[in-house]
Structure 1
Amino acid sequence: MTTTFDRGLALLDAIVAAELGSTGYPGNAQLAERIGLDQAQTSRMLKDLAAAGLVERDEPSRGWRAGPGWFALAAAAGDGELLRGARPLLRALVARRHEPAWLSVRSGTAVLTVGSEASHWASYVAATPGALTPLWCTGPGRALLLDHSDRELAELLDGVSFVGGGPRAARDLATLAARNAEARAAGVVVADREFEHDVVDFSAPVRDRLGTITAALSLAVPRFRLGGHTAEIAASVAEAARALQVRTGAASGPGPAATRAGRTADRPAS
């Protein structure tokens, strides 16, 4: 049976193959012909792929090319050691907490989910593989930014309007920087209603061999199920992130970027 997912993969594969070849960036009509769909179906699927950041328009030709989400996903998938190491830890978190757990990487100013384990209570958009969510109002996004200084945050998020997210999302750069300074000291982000109403993201950074943050490991818990266990849950997520670093032979502590961020946390961005 050919599913929508299969057709989407075929469409993405055709775009990447064309980009790697010498045929240029294919348009809607070319892609529809190559994968055997009508143009209306192709157009709808391209919009979905573009919304996920997996493809983007090449403005001069108006054809399609691989987007930032595809490159981030490819980079994460290329690090098989990270994904293999994360799977049992994500499963253990779900088994212990009965909540969705996932692994994310940064894709520009967004967060890309590259691996997840589902729970039984509900689906959670951020925990869906391939999901793209904002950096500034999600637990994993903030965890990925913990080593950024105020100046680096300002440069990266230049032009971000801080509109959307949950009721407690940061509405300006200063608030985000202050929250990250607090989370940096704790080593884990507790994003309470920052992305969705009544959901808390617990997220911890995952570092590579040089101490650089390359991923974030997260767990989402509805507020009514916290039961006074916020500190305990945060500790379990941080412990899982550290265990992943051990599995991948990563550094045991922050790298130079974290030290720089700590020194500049109280300086206003210019």
Structure 2
Amino acid sequence: MDVSPEASSLAQGLRLVRLVADREKQGRQLLGVSQLAAELDMEQSRVSRLSQELCDLGLLEREDRGPFRVGRRFFALAGSLNNGWVHDARAELEELVSDFGLRARLSVRDGVRVVLLRSSSNNAALGGFAKPGMVTPVWCTGAGRALLWDHSGSQVESLLGQVNFIGVGGPSAAHSPAEVIDLMARDRPSGYVLADEEYEHDVWELAVPVRSPRGEILAALSVLGNRQRAEKNVAAIVDALQSASRRLGSSGSPSS
């Protein structure tokens, strides 16, 4: 293990950037030096020095000694990673829209949250709320349950044991880890997740996991629409989702 001062500074700097990025992504109050130091349990002078270096690199930015937010260089670096299966997803999502007229999404998991990576062009036309970075629950969305596809019952219990289910989701949302486990057991034989009004009223979501060549789940590919439009095309939609997920997965890797 590298315990050099340079390695320590890099690790602390990455923690600092991640905290700022996470708070901004979650829409939480942005923090200044003293608050960041308290959150990270670091000396304030250390945070002040690191944050200035990160601002000089363009990874963080602040105005008039105010709170920090992620900088332009952060987004440039993120954009440089937008290749392989993430890049290829754009065409796959639009093809699903063309074939079925439904909204299409590519999502990943962050703990008990589902983070939207890409959405089809018709998301804005059908509500406007689904933008990259949007966060939804893992337990009551089709994409979320697709991302839990390989989780055992005990792993689901461990992941969701401290979740507050009250008031979250649509009329068919799960309200306990046990209910999530039951829904997973129901869907696994069919090879896809069907979330019927689990998160949004009057919305069906069909989802499948996207796997790397090694078999690990990289993401979830899903389509959403009202029951009347989706129900009559389930077999064709599932076939298209699974084909698209295999194509995306073939260019993916566990580190993507």
TM-score by length of 2: 0.68
Identity rate of aligned residues, in percent?
A: 34
The 3-state SS of whatever aligns with 1:226 is: helix
| Structure 1 counterpart of 2:198 | 194
Report the Cα distance in structure 2 between the residues aligned to 1:47 and 1:20, rounded to whole angstroms: 14
Matched, 1:133 2:161: no
Report the Cα distance in structure 2 between the residues aligned to 1:143 and 1:76, rounded to whole angstroms: 26
Matched, 1:20 2:13: yes
Matched, 1:232 2:232: no
| Structure 2 counterpart of 1:85 | 88
User: Structure 2: any 5+ residue segments left out of the alignment?
Assistant: 1-9, 41-46, 48-66
Matched, 1:106 2:99: no
CA deviation string 1:76-111 (max 9, x = no partner): 973621112211111100111122111111112100
Report the Cα distance in structure 2 between the residues aligned to 1:54 and 1:142, rounded to whole angstroms: 30
| Structure 2 counterpart of 1:178 | 182
CA deviation string 1:11-67 (max 9, x = no partner): xxxxxx9x739xx79xxxxx9xxxxxxxxxxxxxx9982535797874725997889
TM-score by length of 1: 0.65
2:84, 2:252 within 8 Å by CA — same for their partners in 1? no
Q: Displacement of 1:227 after TM fit?
A: 5.2
Give runs of aligned pairs for residues 10-89 of structure 1, distance below 5 A: 20=13, 49=24, 51-52=26-27, 58=36, 60=38, 78=81, 80-89=83-92
Count of aligned positions: 207
Amino acid at match of 1:112: V
2:25, 2:133 within 8 Å by CA — same for their partners in 1? no
Give runs of aligned pairs for residues 157-172 of structure 1, distance below 5 A: 157-163=160-166, 164-172=168-176
Report the Cα distance in structure 2 between the residues aligned to 1:115 and 1:233, rounded to whole angstroms: 19
Report the Cα distance in structure 2 between the residues aligned to 1:53 and 1:108, rounded to whole angstroms: 18
Q: Displacement of 1:203 after TM fit?
A: 0.9
Report the Cα distance in structure 1 between the residues aligned to 2:29 and 2:209, rounded to whole angstroms: 24
2:146, 2:209 within 8 Å by CA — same for their partners in 1? yes
Report the Cα distance in structure 1 between the residues aligned to 2:29 and 2:212, rounded to whole angstroms: 25
Report the Cα distance in structure 2 between the residues aligned to 1:54 and 1:243, rounded to whole angstroms: 40
Matched, 1:156 2:168: no
1:58, 1:65 within 8 Å by CA — same for their partners in 2? no
Amino acid at match of 1:111: V
1:203, 1:237 within 8 Å by CA — same for their partners in 2? yes
The 3-state SS of whatever aligns with 2:209 is: strand
Report the Cα distance in structure 2 between the residues aligned to 1:119 and 1:234, rounded to whole angstroms: 20
Amino acid at match of 2:188: R
| Structure 2 counterpart of 1:144 | 147
The 3-state SS of whatever aligns with 2:182 is: helix
The 3-state SS of whatever aligns with 1:87 is: helix
Q: Displacement of 1:210 after TM fit?
A: 1.6
- Return closer, same or farther for 1:95/1:82 CA change in 2, 3 Å cut-off: same
Matched, 1:209 2:213: yes
Report the Cα distance in structure 2 between the residues aligned to 1:97 and 1:149, rounded to whole angstroms: 33
Over aligned residue pairs, what C-alpha RMSD do you find?
3.7
